[in-house]
Amino acid sequence: MRRIPVIQLGVGNVGQSLIEQVAASRVRHADLFDLRLDHVALVDSDGAIVNPKGFSDDSLSNIAQAKAGGSQLNELSNGHVQCDPAAIVDVAGADEAIVIDVTASQETIPALLESLGRGYRVVTANKLPLTESYALFQTLTSSRQLRFETTVGAGLPVLSTLQSLVDVDDRVQRIQGSLSGTLGFICSQLDAGKRFSEAVREAEHRGYTEPDPREDLAGSDVARKALIMARMLDNPAEFEDVEVQSLYPREMDDLTINEFLAEVDALDEEYDELANEARASGKRLRYISEVVDGHCRVCLAAVDPDNRLAHLQGSDSMVVFETGHYRDNPLVISGPGAGPTVTAAGVLRDIVGLAL
């Protein structure tokens, strides 16, 4: 059986789900592909745990449970302090390995570069390395030994579809999407007549937002997704080139999280007016991303009822591709665009695709 060492950076919610899915797929991978994905190292923000011979599924499950319970890897009996993810790449001890980045950190960039330089393959769900400088994006993606499907749309096949269009020279004229489950939920609440503050607090209560809801409301996460798609079209854009509309005034950045949640009511009147205007004209509010002729923008917009984005509900995501071949009837991808389970499933598809 072909054994591929796996080094996993990040053991948060997505990383824990990935561990479970790898173990659940053991028999199928063996039967179909004569393949075993063998975790040899796990790394979090403070430490690492390493076994060059590979962890058993029971050991991986215990580690994932410890992380879910709030433990750090360096606190486990066989864990240790590790502040240099790039150094962990050495533990594979093989000619081939797959390095997985399921963090949300820029600190993994040296490890990704080191891995690709060794000829290892890399799968990342982390948008930050791909939205640093365009030069770094080119370095990371030039060999096609890196897959990053889940950076846009979680488990939805957004980027693989875009790459297939590029590969056959089907000119992509416009990409429009709703790519934040959090902001999609808030917009659906506004459509239903809820006040902005109610929608934000409900999203926070349900766990849809980041710990600080302003990270979602600022639009930066959606902007990074738009930038990745633009760069895949050979647009040498930088993050600063993306036109971004924040859903709160930036002077509220100085508030604590609790202060912000207490004072977000101050924005209700503005969003009541926007929602009422949209409703009166038969439109729906959506936080959209758009890539047209190399220009990227993300903003709150009132979309016409015949716009496919108008029919989105809750936290689902959608991307609409208008191309030379899909001009009159655009190509649409829609479904759950967030959540640790679907994101981990997308990461696993990327891993298997690189392994075969």
**285: closest CA among 210, 217, 186?**
186
* 323 DSSP 8-state letter: E
Round to whole Å and give the CA distance between 284 and 286: 6
225 is catalytic: yes
The answer to whether the beta carbons of residues 347 and 150 sit under 8 Å apart is yes
Which distant-in-sequence residues (6+ apart) come within 8 Å of 295 by Cβ?
Answer: 243
The answer to whether the beta carbons of residues 13 and 207 sit under 8 Å apart is no
- Dihedral of CA atoms 116, 121, 127, 132 in degrees, nearest 10, equals 10
Structure tokens at 16: 């824990």
- DSSP secondary structure letters along 143-194: TS-EE-GGGTTTTS-HHHHHHHHHHTT--EEEEEEE--HHHHHHHHHHHTT-
Structure tokens at 282: 């038969």
- DSSP secondary structure letters along 240-296: GGSEE--SS-GGGGGS-HHHHHHHGGGGHHHHHHHHHHHHHTT-EEEEEEEEETTEE
Structure tokens at 350: 């990327």
The residue from 67, 194, 225, 283 that is catalytic is: 225
Helix (H, G, I), strand (E, B) or coil at 72: coil
Query: What DSSP element (H or E) covers 333?
Result: strand 331-336
Active site residues: 225
